[in-house]
Structure 1
């Protein structure tokens, strides 16, 4: 069920799904209104007599004008979208194109214009004016006119949205909001007073595997990124069958065809009755997604910052904005409970996997930015300020050690690249709050 939910979310996030739904709805609406026009003579109502089309030639003219205009504007909308995607790709990186394609307004606008065109074609086809029959679907034509007026307003909103969507601050803010929603969904449990540096189960995996005499491995049928892994289902399967299941990869990792994904260990021989359809517990794809991959949105933010620091763009202010938003995310992560790599059932290890860690999230956020920030004192200083703020938020030793390690690397960059001695002295003064803490 969880895999179906994952695939449904991926489907609804695609660029074509919403437009197709709107087109199908418009076809159904056209059919319904034509049926109403055949069943009810709305022109006999005095109010409608002033606004309804009464001749077949006028009806054809109105519908032809609207349909031609809508398909023309749809082409313009598509062209504007492609230009925006090209600008976004060159400025922020090609991996951010999916964010623009998933924008609901872009999907709705494209679907609305194409569906209005399809609606007008269907209604135009039923207009009759001959000796055998006269039929003018007045109510359907009225709705086409209202849809055309609404689409004009929608075009203005679309152009406004596109002009804002390619601004650096807006892009960074959208990714930050998406990142925080994803982080809050994945890490919903607060750490409270428990120290994450105290690992309850420090024994190596081989210690537990020695009790299992039989094993089999599920290998990857193709190469790709691990987009989804249902840890709960695997843990329950291990409990039910008294297995020890080991997951060899974390969501977001790249798996080569034939590489082990999951290992199943048992104390008895495997039988057909005890077989489990493990293929339903993971999804491989050609790209990374954000549903379970918390680091993916962080990497998107880091990519913007690194491109901004490249010599061709040289935009330290965008990089600083990325650092500020990443700082907010990491401050939140200092207060959440990261999962343990082992899951037990009555002191029996049933599932082992590679969980996310605070150290890993901190590395993903700041390592590459620090590497690209050499030669930009403003960005290096903001990195140190960010680490100081994260250090102030955390109260646990293992988190403080990770922050201290990054502060030492940032200070080393300052010592190697700062030409002004006052800037360097300022950096050293700032770093003392972290580096000199016992």
Structure 2
């Protein structure tokens, strides 16, 4: 079920699915309303004369005007969208394009204009007028007028959304929101059952007790996008095997590289091996469904571009550091799942490849620190972020990771900060971490 949900999310991130769905609905709506118009007679007297057309020529004129306007605005909307994607790609990096494609409003607007255009064509074709018979689908025409009004409002909202969505602060804030949402889904309180501490030391002995080992190899080059861990655990329990994963979502795979190893006492059938292989999804690009570092790398890329000599925008980089700091403070409260997964009887069934707090720290600050050489304000902001994270760090491994990065930031400052007072300020700030650690 989760694998289906993964592909559903990928489908919803495309620019064609929602528009095509809206277009199909509009065609059925046009046909259905025309049928309703054939069976319903509405009076065009009294208040009805303000809402319903009273001649075939007027009906054709209204529908032709709406359809022509909608297809013209649709072209403008497509152009504005492509310009926004181009700006986002050049300013923030190509990996940010997918974030804009996930915006549901953009998809709805693209679909609604084309759908209204096709709707008007179908209704226009239904108008009949001759000497003996006249048919005007007045309800369908009224709906077309309402749709045109709604599309005008959508255009205003769309322009406002595009104008705000390409602002650096808004983009960074949206990425932070994505990271917060991922924490609950990627790091639940319990994944399977953790292995007892005393058994962790004999994992190699557990693997050696199996008679056979089978390498599961990558079928193609690409990025590991998704692993259905729950299904893998069920398969391991059913087949009485141990599955060891060598990679995690976000890693790049080369064809025929060993992505997992299966330890078993029996020779596995081809269908059983195929079933295990089907739990790995490999694609051409990275996705963030199971890779929290994907969103972190997006923010790091924005900061790195901001620190490049051609852009030289330290304030955007500092905003990224602030948001990364907030995310890492939240990660200090997160219980990272054990890589050892057991069944109901306590038997080790899977050894996962998982991330940890230090890995997230490295992904967040390594590149920014490397690009920050020469920018005193950014180096000091990095130190301030580390101080904040250290105040939230409760576990020993978390504190060691913060201290490691503090030393590296100090080294960058020592090598690149030319003003002695600025470096003294940086050194004084770092003492907060070292003094508390002692």
The verdict on a shared fold, with TM-score over 0.5 as the criterion, is yes
Q: What secondary structure does 2:387 align onto?
A: helix
Root mean square deviation of aligned Cα? 1.9
Residue 50 of structure 1, CA deviation: 2.9
Of 301, 318, 321, which residue of structure 2 is paired with 1:320?
A: 318
The aligned residue for residue 238 of structure 1 is: 236
Q: Pairwise mapping of residues 148-159 of structure 1 onto structure 2 (< 5 A)?
A: 148-159=148-159
Alpha carbons 2:213, 2:263 under 8 Å: kept: yes
Residue 53 of structure 1, CA deviation: 1.1
Residue 152 of structure 1, CA deviation: 1.1
Q: Pairwise mapping of residues 343-362 of structure 1 onto structure 2 (< 5 A)?
A: 343-345=341-343, 346-362=345-361
Give the direction of change, closer, same or farther, for the CA distance of 1:176–1:58 in structure 2 (3 Å limit).
same
How many aligned positions are there? 432
The aligned residue for residue 341 of structure 1 is: 339
Alpha carbons 1:3, 1:282 under 8 Å: kept: no
Q: What secondary structure does 1:268 align onto?
A: coil
Q: Aligned partners of 1:188, 1:409: CA distance in 2, in Å? A: 32
Q: Aligned partners of 1:121, 1:231: CA distance in 2, in Å? A: 49
The aligned residue for residue 193 of structure 1 is: none
The aligned residue for residue 424 of structure 1 is: 423
The answer as to 2:215 corresponding to 1:221 is: no
Map Cα deviations across residues 200-250 of structure 1 (whole Å, 9 max, x no partner): 655375433211121222222211111110112212221222101111210
Alpha carbons 1:238, 1:244 under 8 Å: kept: yes
Alpha carbons 1:3, 1:280 under 8 Å: kept: no
Q: Aligned partners of 2:393, 2:249: CA distance in 1, in Å? A: 26
Map Cα deviations across residues 39-88 of structure 1 (whole Å, 9 max, x no partner): 00123564323321111111111111110100000000110111111111
The aligned residue for residue 371 of structure 1 is: 370
TM-score normalised per structure 2: 0.94
Alpha carbons 2:217, 2:259 under 8 Å: kept: yes
Give the direction of change, closer, same or farther, for the CA distance of 1:211–1:31 in structure 2 (3 Å limit).
same
The aligned residue for residue 277 of structure 1 is: 275
Alpha carbons 2:224, 2:253 under 8 Å: kept: yes
TM-score normalised per structure 1: 0.94
Give the direction of change, closer, same or farther, for the CA distance of 1:117–1:356 in structure 2 (3 Å limit).
same
Q: What secondary structure does 1:343 align onto?
A: strand
The answer as to 2:36 corresponding to 1:36 is: yes
Q: Unaligned regions of 5+ residues in structure 1, if any?
A: 191-195
Q: What secondary structure does 1:356 align onto?
A: coil
**Comparing 143-152 and 308-317, the one that deviates more:** 143-152
Map Cα deviations across residues 12-51 of structure 1 (whole Å, 9 max, x no partner): 2222111111111111111111011100012356432332
Q: What secondary structure does 2:147 align onto?
A: helix
**Comparing 275-284 and 135-144, the one that deviates more:** 275-284
Give the direction of change, closer, same or farther, for the CA distance of 1:286–1:131 in structure 2 (3 Å limit).
same
Alpha carbons 2:44, 2:52 under 8 Å: kept: no
**Comparing 74-83 and 51-60, the one that deviates more:** 51-60
Map Cα deviations across residues 128-174 of structure 1 (whole Å, 9 max, x no partner): 11235311111111111111111111111111111111110011111
Q: Aligned partners of 2:2, 2:278: CA distance in 1, in Å? A: 9
Alpha carbons 1:43, 1:138 under 8 Å: kept: no
Q: Aligned partners of 1:411, 1:165: CA distance in 2, in Å? A: 36
Q: Aligned partners of 1:173, 1:388: CA distance in 2, in Å? A: 22
Residue 384 of structure 1, CA deviation: 0.6
Give the direction of change, closer, same or farther, for the CA distance of 1:184–1:215 in structure 2 (3 Å limit).
same
The answer as to 2:6 corresponding to 1:11 is: no
The aligned residue for residue 139 of structure 1 is: 139
The aligned residue for residue 92 of structure 2 is: 92
Q: Aligned partners of 2:98, 2:427: CA distance in 1, in Å? A: 41
Q: Aligned partners of 2:318, 2:161: CA distance in 1, in Å? A: 24
Q: What secondary structure does 1:87 align onto?
A: helix
Q: Aligned partners of 2:317, 2:40: CA distance in 1, in Å? A: 63
Q: Aligned partners of 2:270, 2:319: CA distance in 1, in Å? A: 56
Q: Aligned partners of 2:47, 2:123: CA distance in 1, in Å? A: 22
Alpha carbons 1:339, 1:356 under 8 Å: kept: no
Residue 270 of structure 1, CA deviation: 3.0
The answer as to 2:420 corresponding to 1:411 is: no
The aligned residue for residue 380 of structure 2 is: 381
Give the direction of change, closer, same or farther, for the CA distance of 1:67–1:204 in structure 2 (3 Å limit).
farther
Q: What secondary structure does 2:342 align onto?
A: strand
The aligned residue for residue 208 of structure 2 is: 210
The aligned residue for residue 330 of structure 1 is: 328
Q: Aligned partners of 1:420, 1:94: CA distance in 2, in Å? A: 37
Q: Aligned partners of 1:391, 1:35: CA distance in 2, in Å? A: 68
Alpha carbons 2:189, 2:337 under 8 Å: kept: no
